Amino acid sequence: MTRYKAIISYDGHDFAGFQRQPHERSVQEEIEKTLIKINSGKQVVIHGAGRTDSGVHALGQVIHFDLPQKRDEEKLRFALDTQTPEDIDFISVEEVDDKFHSRYRKHSKTYEFIVDIGRPKNPMMRHYATHYPYPLDLKLMEKAIVKLEGTHDFTGFTASGTSVENKVRTITRACLEFDENCNFLIFTFSGNGFLYKQIRNMVGTLLKIGNGRMPVEQIDRILIEQDRHLAGPTAASNGLYLKEIRYEE
């Protein structure tokens, strides 16, 4: 068998998430249906570096899969790109060592979250940015977001029901930019892994701090007390993008 690594992007609006699930449309299922055609009707299972939720987008998701023979990388990329639905794009395909695993090979992820603070909102971005029409103090949010950097137990920012026991993660970068031309806030988070709905909960908390309904020090309290009830609401999924995945050599 020959193993291939692919970098893909997708518009998450019409997907129930990346992972295959019964009676719902998923990114994994659509790609596997295309690979069955390419592989003469035989099933191919893909493995993703991470699972995105319903409505979440990806600019640089990584997957891997095995095929029984070597293929020309560009021809394979072109076949996958043209035969999968239009809301999935294959950026690159390359042959890799059979020990490579998109999920378990050590890597870091970068996510972006886009918030439309325009009044009125941009209707063209309704599926691609979360609208927040309330006043915000960006300086307060900038002071708060840097508190998320470092190694912490992020239990207080995790959705209930997660099966992950170890909730310690390291965030290497947490920053906020404002695009004046679009009236967009762009939150960026890089780290060695993120818990279920962690980023959306962090963004929801930061927005509440920016709106003056929580103090900047609330971040410290959430990290110390590890209580989800102390954090803000979960931001909508339409503003979240898996931007990039980097693997260690």
Closest CA to 184 of 102, 128, 110: 128
Measured CA to CA, the distance from residue 10 to residue 122 in angstroms comes to 21
The verdict on whether 53 is a catalytic residue reads yes
Contact 76, 4 (CB under 8 A): yes
- Cα–Cα–Cα angle for 16, 18, 19, rounded to 5 degrees: 90
DSSP secondary structure code for residue 198 in this structure? H
Closest CA to 2 of 79, 95, 92: 95
Cβ burial of 85 (10 Å; 0-12, 13-18, 19+) is: middle
Query: Directed axis angle between helix 27-38 and helix 73-83, to 10°?
Result: 120
Query: Directed axis angle between helix 138-145 and helix 198-210, to 10°?
Result: 140
Q: Which of 11, 14, 53, 179 is catalytic?
A: 53
Measured CA to CA, the distance from residue 65 to residue 4 in angstroms comes to 6
Alpha carbon distance, N-terminus to C-terminus of the chain:
23
Closest CA to 171 of 211, 213, 223: 223
Residues known to be catalytic:
53
